[in-house]
Amino acid sequence: MSALRYIADNWDTIGPEIATHLFIVAIAMAAAGALGLTFGVFAARNERVAAIVLATTSVILTIPSFALFGLFTIWLGLGNPPVILGLALYALLPVTRNTRVGILGVDPAVVESARGMGMNQRQILFDVELPLAAPVILAGVRQATVMVVAIASIGAAVGANDLGRPIFEAVGRTTGSYERILAGVLPIAFIGVVADATLAVFERRLRHGGVTVQPA
């Protein structure tokens, strides 16, 4: 396949682009995971907080990526930082929403049983609610990760040296554009499929596990 041959012949540039793409996605998802988990917990405790957080993150997701990345270049300059920040914000909605849904879906009887055993609110959250909500939370992380892998390619428009670069370089070219586009598209698709399949395995394992709280 000509696209695979092109990737092999240009590995000295495409290899670093793949590494940068993975780095951008990993940092963005780490930030979104930490913030989304925190926001989701607060949203599960307070309906007013939930309305504000979910509305805000929903609005952010409607902003075109090129515009959002471009806006952040005003403060962060060109390169990876504005892309990482933008992607983290995009990933907040699925993580926050699923964290809230997962916690609210925990059986109240289990929470009461834990409270009857003398657990405080912090112990209930970390030892009961979050473990039971983990499959739902991971489903949100999985959705966000696949989305971020794809959107990250737009970052090349603001200077990120990721897999969007060969795609943007192919625009307007009359020769070699097919191979250049696929040189970006194929690795992006591969990363997305592998990430989705890997997280799906962990999600299934979490669903088959569980936390049991027995009265003392």
Q: Tell me: domain 2-208, CATH 1.20.1250.20, correct?
A: no
- Residue 186's contacts (CB-CB under 8 Å, 6 or more residues apart) are 3, 4, 7
**123 pLDDT exceeds 60?**
yes
pLDDT band at residue 94 under the 50/70/90 scheme: very high
Check residue 172 and give its pLDDT: 64
Nearest CA among 73, 101, 80 for reference residue 31: 80
**154 pLDDT exceeds 60?**
yes
Both structure tokens of 81: 């930082």
Rounded Cα gap, residues 37 and 161, in angstroms: 29
**212 pLDDT exceeds 70?**
no
**138 pLDDT exceeds 60?**
yes
pLDDT band at residue 169 under the 50/70/90 scheme: confident
**2 pLDDT exceeds 80?**
no
Nearest CA among 199, 192, 48 for reference residue 134: 199
